[in-house]
Each structure stands twice: as C-alpha cells, then as structure tokens.
Chain A
C-alpha cells in the first residue's frame, strides 16, 4: 500500500485551472519529486495534499487515512515544510519548535528531548536561544525544516525548500533530505531545480500548467521521450573503420568521427559501453578517454512541454 496516494487532484480559481487532475503515489521510504517551473501548480498541489487548501475534486490518502482540510488524524502523519520561512522571527528557535510541537500534540518530558534532538539534526543547538531574526537565511531555512520534523512524520513534504538559499546552505539542506530519506522517511519534494530532483528523488513527476505530464525514475523519463546518451571517445588509429563497425551495432543510433574523436548516440550507454569499446579496439583504434553524457530532466522537460524549466 502506498504511503501517499493522490488521485484526480483538481483546483481552479475562477476560470484558471491551477491543478488539473493530478495523480501520483509515494511508497514507504521513497523520495518523490514534483519538478516544474514557477507557476506550474506545485505549491497549490502541495497545499491540497497537506490539507491547508480546499480542493475542487480528487482524493488524498496518507497511510490509509483520507486527508482533507478538516482531517486531524491524517495531518499528524505529515511533516510540512513550506516554501516561506513560516517562523516567528521574534521568538527563538527553541520557542518556535516548542510552539509547533504543542500543535502536533507533543508534550510532557519527551518534548524537551525531541526539541534537543531536532536542534542537533538541524545544527542549531548552540544558537537555540537566539531570536530567529538574528539568524542567517540558511539557519532560518534549517529551522523551517526542523519544525517539519518535530512530529516524527511518516511523510515529509518540502515545498521548494532551497529557494533563495546560498549554495552552501542549499547543499546542507539537500544532504539533510538525503539523510532523512536514507533513514526510511518518505519524502515529497517540489522544486524547479532539475539538479535537485535528479540528486534526491527516486521518482520524479513532471508538472506543468497544473498537469502531471509524466512520471517515473529518471531513466524511465528519459526513455519515455526517446532521448539517447551521447558517448564521446578520444582515440587514435583507424577511426573511420571503427565508426563503420560501431554503426553496425544494435541500438547505436548514430556514429561519426573527426579530430581524433568518435561520437555516437546510444540509449543506456552504460550497458552498451563494454561492447562499444571492444568494437573500437577490434577496428584497430586505441581509446584514450571516454565521456558519457546522459540526457537530463531538463531535456525531458523541454521535450514534454516545449519550454525550459526556468522559462
């Protein structure tokens, strides 16, 4: 049974359809990315999934519990990290954590220990009693994530958590998410950064104009749009013959030589690479370097929507 099941999610504002029949699911310990440009409907979809926005249609089920804006039980299973820094800036990190913990129903002796634990996870133990307004952007971002972890959620939902963050903090956030996912937490992660989706997510849903255009693993998505890997080899010897032989291999779409190098297009190059190298060597050419460039999600997005992610 999936941990999160989203079916037919739909929301419109007047005549504008923000989310249009979105379906996907997330399994236990899976990291799922919703990749799309700004205005694609990611935040609207997330808002409906966490139960802060009424939906026009569709269903959200978390660990077997139906979830809507009135649900209390299902919301307790989710940790939500909004895109904004939803923190009281005039309170300290500890006070922020305690306040939201109380809203999650935590209390008693375990509360203090949990706060200390979270402060350790987000690396703010030393500055826990300083007001948030004295924090750097990266520290505030970490606290923003920490609050989402207070209730030991089964599913952590992060809505573009690295927007406006410096590269160092960004890397730290991505590492934290990877670590949490590694510990078995299911993660729903929205972003418009292709690299983040590629780095973090087991599966990615590509969303544009409120619709989920495609979903799957990175490899599946690339395969879906028929994109191939590009292999570039620097080599010496009879390159023309090598190209001739390479073109005869199954799956090689195109091969050409020039200026001490051979270039060929092939799906799933990593699988075919030993055979390719054997063929080149048999043709009397010596390979010095090999570079494999796989098509990225940016390419997939471009193929599916006709526009770049940052358009």
Chain B
C-alpha cells in the first residue's frame, strides 16, 4: 500500500508541472509528426529541374518527369542552384537537362542527363527510382522516332508522334519480396516514426525523472520517509514504481494517441503491452542507477540528456536502424533501444505476435534484470548512507 502511495505521488507530481505536460505529452506527438514527414513515405517529393524549357524535346522530358502524382517538379535556372537546393534538402533530387538536348537528340548523339541527390537522403532513393524509369521511357520514344527518320519512312517529329500513339503491350512485372520487406505496402509514415520515438521518449522521460529522486534525497524527503514506519525496500519499490508508472503512462499515451491521430497500428496488443512494460522497467532501472550516482540534480540532468538522447540515437530511434551500416547495427544492439526497435518493427510493420519477438523480449528482459535490481540496491544504499 505504501509502495503505491509513493508511486502514485510521483505520477501526480509529474503532471503538476505544466512544462512536464508539454515535454512528456506534446513533444513526442510533434516529433512523431515531424519524423514521419522526414523519413516516412507518402508525402510529395520535390525534384529540381534545369533546362526543362530548352526546347520541345526538353519540355517533353520535363512533362514526363512531372508525370507522377507525388513528384513536384521545381524549375531552376542553373546547375549551381539545383545543387545548392539538393544540398540544403529543399529538393530531394535534381535533374539537369543540357542546353544542347534537343539538337543532340535530333542529331542522334548521345545525351547525358545529370541526376543529383544526397547519399543519405532516403526519400531521394524513391525520387531516383522515378527518374530512372521516366527518362528511359522518354528515351525509348526518341529512339523509335530517330529509327523512323533514319530509315527514311518518316520525319523525326512525325515518328515521335507515331511512337507516342503506339500501343505497345507492356511487360508485366510481378514484384515479390525475398525475405522480409523493410517497408511493407501501405505502411504509413507515422507508423515508421511512432515506435522508435516511443522508445526514445519513455527512456528519456524515465532518466529525467531520476532528477526528482536526487532532489528527494537532497532535500531530506527520502530520509524523512525512512524515519516513518516504512521500510527502505518499500521506499525504493515505491520510487521504482513511480518511474515505471511515468514511463508506462507516457508509452500508453503515445500508443493510443498515435493510433487516434496518425492511424498507427501497433500490432498484437499483448505483445506491444509486454514490450512497453519491459522497456519501461529498463528506463526505471536506469533512472534509479543514475539517481544514486549523483548528489545534485544539475549533474544528473546533464547525464540524463546525454544518455537519453545518445543511446536513443545509437539505438536507431532518430534515424531508422535499417539505414545503419552493418557494424553500427551491431553496436546499436548494445542499447535496449535497438532491441525494442526491432521488436516493434516486427509487430507494427509485419503483424508479428509475441512469439515472433521473443528473442528481442529476452534481450530486453536481460537489460531489465540487470538494471532494476542494481538500481534498487544502489537506491537503498543511498537512502541509508
């Protein structure tokens, strides 16, 4: 009972502070929204284009490039301008049609179309696929027109019109995924951002809540609690429960809120709940360990920020783990976040159940099994020393 009293007090105190409400509730949703836009699919891509007005043939190519609903072609004046736009992320890709494009095509000379992207921009890969399909399609028509002109059966322009009208049965392409698709069909961008951010924020909030523990000790409240007929273990268990409740509350809020606001489906509810509970225990354990190491809140808050954000970044909660090099993916698995990320990927993207995430749950349980008892023991020692 006393454990519950202490635990619930922590939760109550968290929401007493309006800035906490902002950081614990509002910020995660903002981040889910922003990260979803940054890394998720579905949003329009911008393609910078130079030379689209260099002649009728260049205009045809520009029209072809703009032929996909989610690609917006942005006309630009120079190659430098498009390069800068790509570098600054204003456009996801840049295409440069040379000024001699029309003349060279008509003369049957080879033409080089330059395509620029940032190598680490995931959305650029999508745009690149579109450019690499649109340009050859236009090139095929031009080749057909040139062939007619070369054979003397028609002029280049007439041949181009004929080729344009020709109904050539296409090649039916059937796509099958070998192994498991990283991003399955119909996957929402927010379903990509919500799970890692849930991991990032529940862990970060748990760590920052450790400051409360340091303050409680510093102001003599822990000692005063211990002077009541309450055992040290009850106090430690109550404080642990407080951290756990805070993490669980935030995690549940992110799950339910992202479901309602962004239609994120978290997969098997039991598996998702177990994952959240185990991950919250890790956060609570880490918070207890950290709180016992510091005598002042200032030092604790600095380390909380460094560890919370650092481990989160390393564990793939800021940039998708799939984009990490194999070596970094191995390193990432020294953090609980990477295991949590993998487990949520299985649940959210691939409809897995609790049996499918047992290895990740095992690893996470091991983290919790080390951190929780260690944190509790250190806290008890800190209270009575």
Binding site for B on A (CB under 8 A): 47, 50-54, 69-70, 72-73, 75-76, 78, 80, 82-88, 90-91, 99-100, 102-105, 147, 151
Contacts and interface: CB of A to CB of B under 8 A. Distances in A.
Interface stretch (B81-89, B110-118, B220-228, B240-248): B220-228
18 contacts: A51-B226, A51-B227, A52-B223, A70-B232, A82-B224, A83-B220, A85-B219, A85-B220, A86-B219, A90-B16, A91-B12, A100-B225, A103-B229, A103-B230, A104-B228, A104-B229, A147-B224, A151-B228
A73 B229 contact: yes
Interface in B260-304: none
Interface string B373-385: 0000000000110
B331 interface: no
Interface string B1-28: 1100110010011001100000000000
B17 A90 contact: yes
B225 A88 contact: no
A80 to B, nearest CB: 4
B16 A75 contact: no
Contact of B229 (A69, A105, A147): A105
A160 B180 CA distance: 68
B5 A70 contact: no
Contact of B228 (A87, A90, A103): A103
Contacts of A72: 229-231
B227 A102 contact: no
A47 B226 CA distance: 10
A73 B232 CA distance: 14
Contact of B223 (A47, A54, A91, A105): A47
B221 A87 contact: yes
A90 B223 CA distance: 18
Interface residues on B, range: 20 to 34
Contact of A99 (B9, B16, B226, B383): B9
Contact of A70 (B16, B225, B231): B231
B223 A86 contact: yes
Nearest to B231: A72
B219 A52 contact: no
Interface string B84-118: 00000000000000000000000000000000000
B224 A100 contact: yes
A50 B227 contact: yes
B14 to A, nearest CB: 10
A147 B231 CA distance: 18
Contacts of A99: 5, 9
A146 B174 CA distance: 78
A118 to B, nearest CB: 15
A75 B234 CA distance: 15
Given A84-B220, A87-B219, A103-B2, A78 B17 contact: no
Contacts of A73: 229
A100 B221 CA distance: 10
A87 B6 CA distance: 14
Contact of B232 (A69, A78, A103): A69
Contact of A86 (B2, B220, B383): B220
Top-8 shortest CB links A-B: A84-B220, A86-B220, A103-B228, A86-B224, A80-B227, A76-B229, A72-B229, A75-B229
Most buried by B among A54, A104, A151: A104
B17 A75 contact: no
Contact of A100 (B16, B17, B219, B228): B228
Contact of A78 (B1, B225, B227, B383): B227
Nearest to A82: B220
A263 to B, nearest CB: 49
A73 B226 CA distance: 13
A232 B225 CA distance: 53
A73 B231 CA distance: 11
A82 B12 CA distance: 24
A54 B228 contact: no
A51 B225 CA distance: 11
A77 to B, nearest CB: 9
Contacts of A80: 224, 227
A53 B384 contact: yes
Given A52-B383, A83-B220, 10 more contacts: A70-B232, A75-B228, A80-B224, A82-B227, A85-B219, A85-B220, A88-B221, A91-B12, A103-B225, A103-B229
B9 A52 contact: no
A87 to B, nearest CB: 7
B199 to A, nearest CB: 28
Contacts of A151: 228
Contacts of A78: 227
Contacts of B2: 102-103
A84 B219 contact: yes
A88 B13 contact: yes
Contacts of A103: 2, 5-6, 225, 228-230
Contacts of A102: 1-2, 5
A144 B12 CA distance: 21
A70 B231 CA distance: 7
A88 B221 CA distance: 8
Contacts of B16: 90-91
B233 to A, nearest CB: 10
Contact of B384 (A54, A87, A104): A54
B10 to A, nearest CB: 10
A47 B12 CA distance: 29
Interface in B31-89: none
Nearest to B235: A103
